[in-house]
């Protein structure tokens, strides 16, 4: 997926719509509101789009934990996608392109909505449920970019799907001691947790089984999955999911909330907002959302190319220690894991037009590194080719690939690993297989082969239904997945020179695992 395509996610308005009918859709009573969905008459799947799961996080509720929505009288139509949370992008140089677009979707702070896609409203047997958490660097993305009906259809109608929205950018991830004292940290993660608790309480009304929930995300969505895996020291109550899937686990530097870096960001936000009083947080709560969004965008765009400014922190309650430490100690929620990475995760986050000094790049990416540590990284990666090839690998392995292996090692007996390797195997290329209706201008499937598509997707969906990627929902060419441990084995999805599917189990390269051990050893400097 190109950089233009990745950025277009921030502005995607809606997914394609099949023939639909709201008049025949049933009404679901959630206690605080009644929602009537819309039936896809081609697939007989009922979608409930844009249901409110929390009160608007505005005014005095800005940077507070999500709260239950107020009671809404009458039957509400859940037939169109909700407004998006305020959208950002990632750090950029002057060469950073923005995707062309004809319309700007509605963006607002009042964005805590979710959508449910169900094939089973009128059946007595509850189905396994997938909760999809969108990516976008904790800065952009929305539920409307992903049509949950795609997953329902691919699973032979054996699952219910939920897509959720959560606060983004400084609205969801502003940190600093002032936020800790006067509000909550990681508001965006708490939104996700609140949505998972909504699913636990309500999904049976839509034909879903609250005891058979799989959380799945891509990029920052997968990073969010990681955060929920380690939340509350691995002792979240009640159990909100039994299984986890990560596609390109995203773990940027995650500082303590009062570290000088997030504290400096808070100070910059307050200064740009004109809040020079002693009560900074309440001053910021009085600033209108559009003005804060201007600050949000300017600060993100000023960041180092390919990085994200406002991301999760260690908050002392929901996330109590660095994720890498928690994983190493086996402090995890969930029983079983499936993770996939793409071969070239880092490329879209590196400006491909520049010439690089590798140690200098490392110090920009990880500001706590000194000269000796950054030179050590350069020495480890010098055999991988040109400086550009080295920084591409450093970006991809340190932030996406190696955190995935740390996650796998936290599930020593119950984890599966896949690699999407079809060239160019860029970050995000795999999304098109999970969601066939997913569209970007100028982007499409890297390998439009029906046998491959079926083989690739069936492992994920079989895992969500049966906790086993080998218990097929329908026949496919995929050979048997091996568990990740004890032999460090993963399923590699590729194609031959003759353009035929190539799918086989293979050992992870020892050289890659060695580099990942290095990144794990310097986790205090990467703040991961």
Report the candidate in 186, 176, 97 with the shortest Cα–Cα distance to residue 138: 186
In Å, how far are 140, 427, 430, 482 from 2, measured between CA atoms? 16, 9, 13, 32
506 contacts 417 by C-beta, under 8 angstroms: no
- Can you give the pLDDT at residue 473? 77
Task: Tell me the average pLDDT of the chain.
Answer: 92
Distance (Å, rounded) from C-alpha 107 to C-alpha 86? 5
Report the candidate in 485, 319, 341 with the shortest Cα–Cα distance to residue 411: 485
Residue 79 per-residue DSSP state = B
Q: Name the CA radius of gyration of the chain, rounded.
A: 22
Taking residues 131-136, what's their average pLDDT? 98
Segment 267-323, tens digit of pLDDT: 999 999 999 888 999 999 999 999 999 999 999 999 999 999 999 999 999 999 999
Segment 90-126, tens digit of pLDDT: 765 332 333 333 345 689 999 999 999 999 887 789 9
- Can you give the pLDDT at residue 294? 96
Beta strands in 224-352, from DSSP E residues, in sequence order: 243-247, 336-342
Taking each helix axis from N to C end, the angle separating 358-365 and 387-396, rounded to the nearest 10 degrees, works out to: 20
327 contacts 230 by C-beta, under 8 angstroms: yes
pLDDT over 50 (residue 48): yes
User: 25-30 contacts: CB < 8 A, separation 24 or more?
Assistant: 25/79, 26/121, 26/122, 27/75, 28/121, 28/205, 28/206, 29/205, 30/202, 30/205
- Sign for the CA dihedral angle at 106, 112, 113, 114 comes to positive
pLDDT over 90 (residue 147): yes
- Determine what percent of the chain is predicted with pLDDT higher than 90: 85
Distance (Å, rounded) from C-alpha 37 to C-alpha 21? 9
345 contacts 396 by C-beta, under 8 angstroms: yes
- Can you give the pLDDT at residue 11? 38
Report the candidate in 460, 472, 383, 387 with the shortest Cα–Cα distance to residue 418: 460
| H/E run at residue 417 | strand 415-420
35 contacts 51 by C-beta, under 8 angstroms: yes
Specify the 3-state DSSP secondary structure of 27: strand
224-249 in b/e form (b: 16+ CB < 10 A) is bbbbbbbbeebebeeebbbbbbbbbb
Segment 459-502, tens digit of pLDDT: 999 999 999 999 877 777 888 999 999 889 999 999 999 999 99
| H/E run at residue 420 | strand 415-420
Specify the 3-state DSSP secondary structure of 25: coil
Distance (Å, rounded) from C-alpha 503 to C-alpha 483? 16
Specify the 3-state DSSP secondary structure of 195: helix
Q: Which segment of 16-20, 151-155, 422-426, 441-445 scores lowest on mean pLDDT?
A: 16-20
202 contacts 331 by C-beta, under 8 angstroms: no
- First-to-last C-alpha distance (Å) of the chain: 26
Residue 400 per-residue DSSP state = I
- Can you give the pLDDT at residue 91? 61
Instruction: Identify the burial level of 500 via C-beta atoms within 10 angstroms of its C-beta, where 0-12 means exposed, 13-18 middle and 19 or more buried.
Output: exposed
Q: pLDDT higher for 522 or 12?
A: 522
Segment 389-412, tens digit of pLDDT: 999 999 999 999 999 999 999 999
121 contacts 46 by C-beta, under 8 angstroms: yes
Segment 182-239, tens digit of pLDDT: 999 999 999 999 999 999 999 999 999 999 999 999 999 999 999 999 999 999 999 9
Segment 411-439, tens digit of pLDDT: 998 999 999 999 999 999 999 999 998 87
Taking residues 323-337, what's their average pLDDT? 98
- Can you give the pLDDT at residue 352? 96
pLDDT-derived band at 4 (thresholds 50, 70, 90) equals very low
pLDDT over 50 (residue 136): yes
Distance (Å, rounded) from C-alpha 349 to C-alpha 3? 8
pLDDT over 90 (residue 152): yes
- Can you give the pLDDT at residue 442? 67
Is beta strand 208-218 parallel, antiparallel or unpaired with respect to 127-133? parallel
Tokens representing residue 20 in the block: 């639909």
- Can you give the pLDDT at residue 5? 43
- Can you give the pLDDT at residue 21? 61
Distance (Å, rounded) from C-alpha 86 to C-alpha 406? 32
Distance (Å, rounded) from C-alpha 321 to C-alpha 304? 25
pLDDT over 60 (residue 9): no
């Amino acid at each position: 997926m190109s950089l233009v395509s990745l950025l277009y996610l921030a502005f995607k308005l809606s997914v394609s719509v099949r023939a639909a009918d709201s008049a025949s859709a049933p009404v679901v009573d959630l206690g605080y509101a009644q929602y009537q969905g819309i039936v896809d008459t081609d697939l007989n799947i009922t979608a409930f789009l844009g249901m409110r799961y929390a009160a608007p996080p505005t005014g005095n509720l800005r940077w507070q934990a999500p709260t239950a929505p107020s009671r809404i009288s009458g039957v509400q139509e859940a037939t169109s996608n909700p407004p998006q949370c305020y959208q950002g992008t990632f750090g950029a140089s002057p060469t950073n392109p923005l995707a062309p677009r004809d319309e700007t979707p509605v963006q607002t702070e009042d964005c805590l909505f979710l959508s449910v896609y169900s094939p089973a409203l009128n059946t007595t047997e509850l189905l396994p449920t997938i909760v999809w958490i969108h990516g976008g660097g904790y800065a952009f993305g929305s539920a409307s970019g992903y049509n949950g009906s795609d997953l329902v259809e691919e699973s032979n109608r054996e699952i219910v799907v939920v897509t959720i929205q959560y606060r983004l950018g400084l609205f969801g991830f502003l940190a600093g001691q002032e936020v800790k004292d006067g509000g909550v940290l990681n508001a965006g993660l708490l939104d996700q947790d609140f949505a998972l608790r909504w699913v636990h309480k309500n999904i049976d009304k839509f034909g879903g089984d609250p005891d058979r929930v799989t959380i799945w995300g891509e990029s920052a969505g997968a990073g969010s999955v990681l955060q929920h895996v380690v939340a509350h020291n691995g002792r979240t109550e009640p159990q909100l999911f039994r299984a986890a899937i990560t596609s390109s686990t995203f773990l940027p530097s995650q500082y303590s909330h009062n570290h000088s870096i997030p504290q400096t960001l808070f100070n910059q936000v307050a200064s740009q907002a004109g809040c020079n009083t002693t009560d900074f947080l309440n001053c910021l709560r009085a600033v209108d959302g559009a003005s804060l969004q201007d600050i949000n965008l300017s600060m993100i765009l000023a960041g180092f190319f390919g990085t994200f400014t406002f991301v999760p922190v260690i908050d002392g309650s929901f996330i109590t220690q660095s994720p890498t430490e928690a994983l190493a100690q086996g402090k995890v929620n969930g029983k079983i894991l499936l993770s996939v990475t793409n071969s070239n995760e880092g490329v879209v986050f590196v400006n491909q037009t520049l010439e690089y000094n590798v140690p200098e790049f490392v110090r920009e990416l990880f500001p706590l590194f000194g000269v000796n540590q950054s030179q050590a990284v350069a020495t480890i990666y010098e055999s991988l080719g040109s400086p550009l090839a080295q920084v591409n690998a450093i970006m991809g392995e340190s932030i996406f690939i190696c955190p995935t292996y740390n996650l796998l090692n936290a599930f020593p007996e119950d984890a599966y690993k896949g690699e999407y390797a079809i060239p160019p195997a860029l970050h995000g290329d795999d999304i098109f297989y999970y969601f066939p209706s997913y569209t970007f201008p100028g982007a499409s499937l890297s390998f439009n082969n029906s046998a491959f598509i079926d083989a690739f997707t069936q492992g994920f969906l079989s895992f969500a239904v049966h906790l086993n990627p080998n218990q097929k929902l329908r026949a496919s060419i995929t050979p048997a997945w091996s568990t990740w441990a004890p032999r460090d084995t993963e399923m590699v999805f590729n194609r031959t020179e003759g353009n035929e599917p190539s799918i086989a189990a293979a050992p992870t390269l020892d050289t890659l695992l060695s580099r990942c051990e290095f990144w794990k050893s310097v986790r205090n400097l990467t703040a991961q």
